[in-house]
Amino acid sequence: MWKAAISTVTSTLKTQSTLLTATDLVYQQARTTYVLKRKYPVLLNKKGHPKKPLRSKHYVYEVVRNTHHEPQSNIEVVLTSVVEGLGNVGDKVSLKVNKAYNNLLLTGLAVYPTPENEAKYKSAGQSKDLLKYSSPSAANTVQSLSRMMLSVVMNKETPWTIKPWHIKASFRKCGYFVPEEAITIPGTPISGPNMDLEGKEFAVTVTINKQEKVNVRCRLHHWSTEVASRLPYVPEFWKIPTESILPEQASLLETMPKKKTMIKKQ
């Protein structure tokens, strides 16, 4: 009887010790795969003869492929909100691994593209109350145009009136291609040459992809083909405060973003 009791206690202790034993096993895959080849190939053995032992030179290898240093491929994620420069809600974008993890997945701006997530955020992206941009770069374009000061250079001798193509040419000088039909100039004509308008501002409206509208600050300058008639160069003119050409646009220009380097009036 006492032998049966001892065996029962022993089996119980063994079971408990097995359950409480800590293990140091790591089941995570290690990305340290190397593809090698022998520098000195091993000769084939003759049939029926014993295998020849390998020599020292047969243990010299050359690296064919090192997966540890290979660039990782991009991953696809589904956006859960509007991300400037990437897209709208429900859009599937492909990004580098670090950028996708650190900037989107960890912050909750994107999820993995499972069938459930794709269906969920695709329906959410079709909501009428949701702010949607016409293209992934539309938000960045709006922000860039709203903070720029466009220099509009007009002739000092020849009569002129500001037209959309003048604004288009000024944008092209700054590296922006804006079609004329996307430019809306003020209703009040601005004509010259008029030196009273030199260095003053007005605003135009640019429509992006027939959807987003942004007001752009413009500053008027006069230029002459005659070197002697040209106005003196003003360095960093965009830092100098000025007035509005049109009184009806004064309040609009005050509300538009300004550069932090703007010099205050004294």
Tell me the chain's radius of gyration from C-alpha atoms: 36
65, 49 contact by CB (below 8 A): no
| Residue 155 falls inside a structural domain | yes
Q: Where are the alpha helices (DSSP H) in 180-264?
A: 250-255
- How far is it between the farthest Cα atoms of the chain? 124
Residues 103-137 pLDDT 10s: 999 999 999 999 998 888 887 766 656 677 788 78
Q: How far apart are CA 148 and CA 57, in angstroms?
A: 68
What is the average pLDDT value for the chain, to the nearest integer?
A: 84
**pLDDT exceeds 60 at position 46:** yes
Q: How far apart are CA 236 and CA 151, in angstroms?
A: 12
| Residue 4 falls inside a structural domain | no
How many domains is the chain partitioned into structurally? 3
**pLDDT exceeds 90 at position 30:** no
Lowest mean pLDDT among 7-16, 26-35, 190-199: 7-16
pLDDT band at 41 (very low <50, low <70, confident <90, very high): very high
Residues 134-168 pLDDT 10s: 887 888 889 889 999 999 999 999 999 999 999 99
The verdict on 223 and 240 lying in the same domain is yes
| Residue 200 falls inside a structural domain | yes
**pLDDT exceeds 70 at position 259:** no
pLDDT recorded at residue 45: 87
The verdict on 156 and 234 lying in the same domain is yes
Domain that holds residue 88: 75-125
| Residue 223 falls inside a structural domain | yes
Residues shown for the chain: 266
CATH number, position 220: 3.10.430.100
The verdict on 186 and 228 lying in the same domain is yes
| Residue 217 falls inside a structural domain | yes
Q: Which residue has the higher pLDDT, 34 or 173?
A: 173
CATH number, position 98: 3.40.5.10
pLDDT band at 263 (very low <50, low <70, confident <90, very high): very low
The verdict on 203 and 142 lying in the same domain is yes
**pLDDT exceeds 70 at position 40:** yes
The verdict on 196 and 249 lying in the same domain is yes
In this structure, which amino acid lies at residue 7?
S
pLDDT recorded at residue 138: 85
Q: Integer distance in angstroms from the first to the last C-alpha of the chain?
A: 107
The verdict on 170 and 226 lying in the same domain is yes
The verdict on 107 and 58 lying in the same domain is no
The verdict on 234 and 148 lying in the same domain is yes
132, 125 contact by CB (below 8 A): yes
Question: For 47-63, what is the mean pLDDT?
Answer: 91
Q: Which residue has the higher pLDDT, 36 or 134?
A: 36
In this structure, which amino acid lies at residue 171?
F
Taking the CA atoms of residue 227, residue 231, residue 237 and residue 243 in that order, the dihedral angle to the nearest 10 degrees is -150
Nearest CA-CA partner of 220 in 239, 238, 247: 238
The verdict on 143 and 234 lying in the same domain is yes
pLDDT recorded at residue 266: 45
**pLDDT exceeds 50 at position 206:** yes
The verdict on 65 and 162 lying in the same domain is no
Residues 65-92 pLDDT 10s: 887 777 888 999 999 888 877 888 888 9
The verdict on 35 and 64 lying in the same domain is yes
| Residue 203 falls inside a structural domain | yes
| Residue 105 falls inside a structural domain | yes
Lowest mean pLDDT among 74-83, 133-142, 210-219, 242-251: 133-142
The verdict on 98 and 167 lying in the same domain is no
248, 181 contact by CB (below 8 A): no
| Residue 130 falls inside a structural domain | no
215, 143 contact by CB (below 8 A): no
